[in-house]
Structure formats: C-alpha cells, structure tokens
Structure 1
Amino acid sequence: MPIKIPDNLPARATLEAEGVMVLREADAVRQDIRPMRIGLLNLMPNKVKTETQLARLLGSSPLQVELTLVKMTNHVARNTPSDHIISFYHDWEDVRSEKFDGFIVTGAPVETLPFEQVTYWDELRRIFDWTQTNVHCCFNICWGAQAAVHHFHGMTKYLLPQKMFGVYRHRNLAPASPYLRGFSDDFSVPVSRWSEMRREDVPADSGMDVLMESEEAGLCLLNDPAHRSLHMFNHIEYDSHSLSDEYFRDLASDKPVPTPHDYFPDDNPSQPPLNRWRSHAHLLFGNWINEIYQTTPFVIDEIGNEVSARAERPAIALPRKRSA
C-alpha cells in the first residue's frame, strides 16, 4: 500500500521517481480502509529532506500510511521557506486533540545546548506527555531521542570532544525483538552528533532494553515499553549523501569537522559514498509500522485507553471506512 502525503509536497516527485507508491488525496478518500495515522514533528533544519527521507521509509510498508507534518507552535523555522511551512505543517496546538497510531520526533541542531535552554523545551515536554495519551507508539530520533530519555528517565547528555561523524558498525543485541526482525548480527548505521547518552545511565528500573549498540559510537537504539517508544540516537533514515552534505557544508563554513568515518571510499571525499544501511533502515521502520498495526486499538479514538500497549491479543485488521 502507498503513503498518503499532501499532493503538492516536494517529497512526492522524489518518491514517485524512486518507485515509492504515493497516494493522491482524492484516491485515499475512496479507498475502503482506515490508514495508519503517523505524525512527524520535524525539528531538522532542512525539513524538505527530512520529510522525504522518512516518507520514503514509511511508504515502503504494505499498509496505507497517512503522514501529518507537525511543528512547534511558536517556533519559527529559519532554514525552510515560510510558504512551505504554512502550506504543509500543522501547529502542535492545532492537532493536540487528535489521536495518532504513531508519532516521530526528529533530531534538532541544538544538541550542544542544555535541554532547558532550548527555546521550545517546555512545549516539547508537553508533547512528550501528550504522546502518552494520544499516540499509540513513538519513534524518537537523535536529539529527539536524547530529549525523550532525559524527560522520561532523567538521563544525562554528555558533550563529546569532537563530532561523532560517519558510518559505524553496530551489533544486534536483541535478535528476538520484533523491531529487529530480519536484521543481521552486524550492520552499519550513520552517526552525526556532538553528544551522547551512556549505557551506564539507563535506569535499572526503567524497563528499557538496549537493542543496538556500537563499540565506537555507543548506544544506538533503546526500546522503552513503558512509554511505547523507540529511541534511536543515530540517523538510520539518512540518504546516501546526507553525511556528505553536512561535511561539505561545515567545511564551507570553516567549522572544524573530521572526514566522516568509514563513509567515503578510501576516505577520499572526492569519491561518491556507498549506502550500506538502506536495507536495515527499511527493515526497522517496516517492523515498527507492523508492531503498531498489530497492537493499535481497532478504533483510533480508543488510543490512550489501552490497558497495555503490548497486551497479547490476535492481530487485527484496521477498521474499514465506508466507500464514497
């Protein structure tokens, strides 16, 4: 099944050119099925690229996914044209009464700041609390994941002496996890951050499980059943050239930045990088969507009333809607 996004969203042309099935809004209305409702709180500077990256992964699911783009209510994005924001994004305050099967919080270019100094920190805390009553499952990425485990579990963020930057080998620590179904024992994940969370700070009574980890880059993916969340500290959603774009952007700005680790062939930035993580990115997001589908309430308005997000019950079909 395809992904439903606004007809004029720039990501549409890119996804269609790649063969991703994209559903027109008029056709979605006629389909006799309730789509999976996924919200995306996009805090990344280049919002168009991030929309495309995540829509690509969500659109590869066999289920119909309806993507809603969300922004902070009072925060003004500086790197995205205002007409794009006005045309495609909803203030969180305008959607807070709605229910979502899934909700994604992205990274943000604020990781060197203490959480409390981020201008939209108070609203983000309210959003995290809101997800516990209005969202069935969450997927938090990079700084969004750091912010979530700090908010819910009090974990400390540590600044790094230099940027952790490149493609790093990771280990599958939980092969039986439904989120890692089909994963290799050893795989690559892009990393781009100035800070880290540490395994020794994971509270023993939090119920969180470490699913992915790297000897060099540290924690990668935590499962947080108590908050129905996955916390991904790295960027498995990145395109082939995302790290390259960051590298050359920083060089042009005279920022001290290392050559991305194990990214360019022979560590030569003049060579085009090879993507060694794409298949695992699709696996992870496909597994996440499948888990939501298996456990989300039959009626979307019942989200927030579940006795247990992981209660054992047979797989259900999402309710059909009356055809037009």
Structure 2
Amino acid sequence: MPIRIPSDLPALNVLSEENIFVMDSERAHNQEIRPLHVGILNLMPNKIETEVQILRLLSNTPIQINIDLIRIDNKAPKNTPKAHMDNFYYQFEQIEHKNYDGLIVTGAPLALLDYEQVKYWEKMQTVMDWARTHVQSTMFLCWAAHAAIYHYFGINRELKTDKLCGVFPHQVNYEHDELMRGFDPVFNAPHSRYGEISLKDYQSIDSLKVLASSERTGAYIVASEDKRLVFVTGHPEYDPDTLEQEYRRDIREGLNPNLPENYFENNNPANSPLVTWRSHGTLLYTNWLNYYVYQNTPYDLADLR
C-alpha cells in the first residue's frame, strides 16, 4: 500500500524518483476503496496444489480480495476430487457476465501439443477475448503466457528438444516500471517448459515491454503498455519441492529428464533444493495487485471497458 504524506513534503519527490509509491493527501482523501474481485482460471491437473500456491502469493496484501475459481473443461481432472470441482469451481459460462479487477490464467501440461490440438482451445480463445473487455489486468503463466501471445499477436512458440528446467537468474530491464518496484537488479525464478518465444519476437510488438529477462531463459516478465496484459513465462508460485516432484515423476515415466539447473544443493539430487525465488514471487504478485490492478481499476466494475 502507498505511503500517505503531505503534498509539499520534500520527501515526496525524492521517494517518487526512487520508484517508491507515495500518495499525497489530496489523492488519498478522494480515493474510493472496495474489495478486489480476482478470477483464477486453473488449467493445472492438480487443482488444489496450484490453488494453494497462487492464493499464498495473493494473500500478502492488506487489500481484501474476493476469489472465483474458474474452469473451462468439463472433464474431471484425475488428480483432483470431483466433489472439489463441483463445490468450489465455476464453469466459465456461469461467470462470463461478470467483470473482474484481475484474472490469473495458470500454466497447463500441454507443452508438446499444437494449440489447435488442445481440446479446449476454442474455449480458451473465447476467455482471452472476453478478458480484454471484462478484466482490468490479466496475468498469464507459463503455457498460458505463450498461448496468449499466439492468440493476441499471432507469434507462435518454438518447441525445444530438452525441457528448460531449473532456477535461473534474471535481470530487471525497466526498474521504474511499477511491476518491478522493490526488485533487486538480479533475481531468481523457476522455469519448467519446452516452449520458447525469442526475445526479438517480444520486442517486435510495440505495445509490449520485456520487463525482466535472462540470457538463459529469454523473456521472463512481459507487460503491455496499458498494464492490462502480463505474461510470465516461468513459475514464481512454485513450492520448494515442485521442480523436484516433476523431475522424479519424469524419471518414473522413463523420460530421462535433465537435472533441474541451479536447484539442488551442489547439483546433487540427493540434497535438498535451494529455495531462492519465493521473495520475488511474492513481490511480483503484490505489485501486480497494487499497481496494475488496484490503482487502475474503476471503482464500479460496470465501467470497465
């Protein structure tokens, strides 16, 4: 939340130049406050695990948030009880009349399929078109980030032979963008994907900014100039052992996976993972909620266009 200080206090300009969010007394007096309404379109098979990961990051703010869990696939996921889906999830058709302050679209284990081969691709396109007029800001994660770039801008990903898997250092490219406030110049983030969109392809889209990137992973955090679209190609929400679980699952399935990079202590899978990304993940979600959503969304969601 912002610091409220007098309009003529000298610290106001100094802090603003340092990219610290301050609000003068006049703006604070006129600000209207209400709970935020955020939808989570959960495409992961283990719904409960993903819910916990994302809700944990959303919770680190004094802003009250009302959550709707959304699904677009009628088939019961094998890793989540049907009762859980029936009790806690809305079909998209049940909520498409609503407007939301924010929407999060998770990744999905669909790495090796063309988008048109995905059974719910048509519905996914419908949701992405709907989000442009019914959501103030939408965050797309991993597979969903690449799918959204393809849908909105016509740029397809390239599928690599080996999965990019591990925890990698990234550089902040726009330190004064509000989404990057408080980030260290270099920070770590987990990735687990086959798809890749080149940095040049992102940079060829005038309305997008690559806010953070890495020589090893390419673009990591990309946002539209109007702050209504955010693309995150990794998994800042991952638990400490998520990459380990994926690695051991792939071994059991005979896929001969590469060891996740920069993840196990001394690169030895017998050791515990080194957890070096959770603070940045929390900060990313907090910044998104505050600066891209709360500070820009209309007080009356009916005014959203």
**TM interval, short-chain normalised:** 0.7 to 0.9
RMSD between superposed Cα atoms in Å: 1.6
Report the equivalent of 1:22: none
Unmatched runs of 5 consecutive residues or more in structure 2 = 2-32
1:43-122 matched pairs, under 5 angstroms: 43-122=43-122
| Deviation at residue 254 of structure 1 after TM alignment | 1.4
- Does residue 290 of structure 2 align to residue 290 of structure 1? yes
What are the Cα deviations for residues 183-208 of structure 1, in whole angstroms up to 9, with x where unaligned?
A: 01111100100111111222634310
Report the equivalent of 1:209: 209
- Contact 1:73-1:92 within 8 A present in 2 as well: no
| Deviation at residue 116 of structure 1 after TM alignment | 0.9
- Does residue 253 of structure 2 align to residue 253 of structure 1? yes
Looking at structure 2, the residues matched to 281 and 113 of structure 1 have their Cα atoms a distance apart, in angstroms, of 28
Report the equivalent of 1:184: 184
What are the Cα deviations for residues 2-37 of structure 1, in whole angstroms up to 9, with x where unaligned?
A: xxxxxxxxxxxxxxxxxxxxxxxxxxxxxxx63110
Higher mean C-alpha displacement, 200-209 vs 247-256: 200-209
Report the equivalent of 1:299: 300
Higher mean C-alpha displacement, 123-132 vs 217-226: 217-226
Looking at structure 1, the residues matched to 108 and 130 of structure 2 have their Cα atoms a distance apart, in angstroms, of 20
- Contact 2:60-2:282 within 8 A present in 1 as well: yes
| Deviation at residue 117 of structure 1 after TM alignment | 0.9
| Deviation at residue 94 of structure 1 after TM alignment | 0.7
Shift of the 205–143 alpha-carbon distance from structure 1 to 2, 3 Å rule, reads closer
Report the equivalent of 2:7: none
Looking at structure 1, the residues matched to 205 and 244 of structure 2 have their Cα atoms a distance apart, in angstroms, of 40
| Deviation at residue 227 of structure 1 after TM alignment | 7.2
Report the equivalent of 2:143: 143
Report the equivalent of 1:41: 41
Higher mean C-alpha displacement, 227-236 vs 160-169: 227-236
- Contact 1:132-1:227 within 8 A present in 2 as well: no
- Contact 1:73-1:93 within 8 A present in 2 as well: no
- Contact 1:146-1:197 within 8 A present in 2 as well: yes
Shift of the 154–75 alpha-carbon distance from structure 1 to 2, 3 Å rule, reads farther
Q: Secondary structure at the match of 1:202?
A: helix
Aligned-residue sequence identity (percent) comes to 38
| Deviation at residue 150 of structure 1 after TM alignment | 0.4
Report the equivalent of 2:277: 277
Q: Secondary structure at the match of 2:40?
A: strand
Q: Which runs of 4+ in 1 moved over 6 A?
A: none
TM-score of the pair, normalised by structure 2: 0.86
Looking at structure 2, the residues matched to 101 and 261 of structure 1 have their Cα atoms a distance apart, in angstroms, of 36
Q: Secondary structure at the match of 1:107?
A: coil
Looking at structure 1, the residues matched to 50 and 223 of structure 2 have their Cα atoms a distance apart, in angstroms, of 23
Looking at structure 2, the residues matched to 165 and 64 of structure 1 have their Cα atoms a distance apart, in angstroms, of 35
Report the equivalent of 2:125: 125
Report the equivalent of 2:194: 194
Q: Secondary structure at the match of 2:295?
A: helix
Shift of the 73–261 alpha-carbon distance from structure 1 to 2, 3 Å rule, reads closer
- Contact 1:202-1:208 within 8 A present in 2 as well: yes
Looking at structure 1, the residues matched to 247 and 214 of structure 2 have their Cα atoms a distance apart, in angstroms, of 22
| Deviation at residue 226 of structure 1 after TM alignment | 5.1
Report the equivalent of 1:268: 268
Q: Say how many residue pairs are matched.
A: 274
Looking at structure 2, the residues matched to 205 and 167 of structure 1 have their Cα atoms a distance apart, in angstroms, of 27
- Contact 2:46-2:77 within 8 A present in 1 as well: no
TM-score of the pair, normalised by structure 1: 0.82
| Deviation at residue 159 of structure 1 after TM alignment | 0.6
Higher mean C-alpha displacement, 60-69 vs 198-207: 198-207
What are the Cα deviations for residues 215-270 of structure 1, in whole angstroms up to 9, with x where unaligned?
A: 11111111123571100011111111110111111111211211110100001111
